[in-house]
Amino acid sequence: MTKTEYYLLCGIYKRWHNRTLANYDNDDKTLKRVKRYIKNSKTHLDSGVGIYFYGDNGVGKSHLMNAAFKELIEQKYSVRVISLSDLVTKFAEAWYDDAAKDEFELLKTRDFVGIEEIGKEFRSSLKDADSKNEDLIVTVLDNILRYRLQNCLPTWFTSNLAPSDVKDKYSQDIFSMLKECAVPILVKGVDYRDIVNTGEI
């Protein structure tokens, strides 16, 4: 299996394959904290503590997480990156399909799991469906966070939501588990999307 194929298997999409911590230049303070975490990855794996990146759109939260997870792969750890909406979909599919159930259970056991886009998951336009979706999302988060906390497995997150807003968005239980399993880090800087397409075509 090629490195590209393995990255994709780990949920690291192609746009991140050439992005590294070395070419992240938006928030030096946060970058230093991430590098220190990677350097002490064995300690964090033993403690089960991850990172909760939050901040404005485009400041590089996903860049940091995907680049860090590539370095964890180089250290021979198993990793999985997945958006919260895809995680919910896989959880629902596992009710009806044994292969999907096995995949979800395997995902839960990775050394490091990164859950992207907390708070931006899909929503229906119907109020009753909204309520059911929110209940399902809380169930999925509770399932995976509780398992990983009990087994001291670190979980990382990216979100536009400040940690204090998680309680209102989801539940007190989710907020409490989040505080226990991840250190909040506010990512600052300019919006990459304002400068990424400045060249001529």
For the chain, list the domains and their CATH numbers: 46-189 (3.40.50.300)
User: What distance in Å separates the CA atoms of residue 180 and residue 104, rounded to the nearest whole number?
Assistant: 23
- Which residues partner with 185 through β-bridges? 53
Cα 59 to its chain centre, rounded Å, is 15
pTM of the model: 0.88
- Residue 146 structure tokens: 């509780």
Least confident of 16-30, 89-103, 143-157, 181-195: 181-195
More confident residue, 82 or 170: 82
pLDDT digits (tens, 9 = 90+) for 123-177: 443 344 445 567 889 999 999 999 999 999 999 999 999 988 888 888 899 999 9
In this structure, are residues 42 and 77 in contact, taking their beta carbons and an 8 Å threshold? no
Predicted local confidence at residue 121, as pLDDT: 61
Predicted local confidence at residue 191, as pLDDT: 74
Statement: residue 196 has pLDDT above 80: no
pLDDT digits (tens, 9 = 90+) for 13-67: 999 999 999 999 888 999 999 999 999 999 999 999 999 999 988 899 999 999 9
Q: Nearest to residue 156, comparing CAs of 187, 189, 178, 186? A: 178
Q: Find the mean pLDDT for residues 165-192.
A: 89
In this structure, are residues 64 and 70 in contact, taking their beta carbons and an 8 Å threshold? no
Predicted local confidence at residue 132, as pLDDT: 56
Predicted local confidence at residue 123, as pLDDT: 46
Q: Find the mean pLDDT for residues 1-18.
A: 94
More confident residue, 119 or 199: 119
User: What distance in Å separates the CA atoms of residue 94 and residue 161, rounded to the nearest whole number?
Assistant: 28
Any idea what the Cα angle at residue 82 is, between residues 79 and 83, rounded to 5°? 155
Predicted local confidence at residue 127, as pLDDT: 41
More confident residue, 197 or 105: 105
More confident residue, 121 or 125: 121
In this structure, are residues 24 and 67 in contact, taking their beta carbons and an 8 Å threshold? yes
More confident residue, 116 or 97: 116
Q: What secondary structure does DSSP assign to 135-159, as a single string?
A: HHHHHHHHHHHHHHHHTT--EEEEE
Residue 52 has what DSSP assignment?
E
Owner of token pair 């800087």: 189
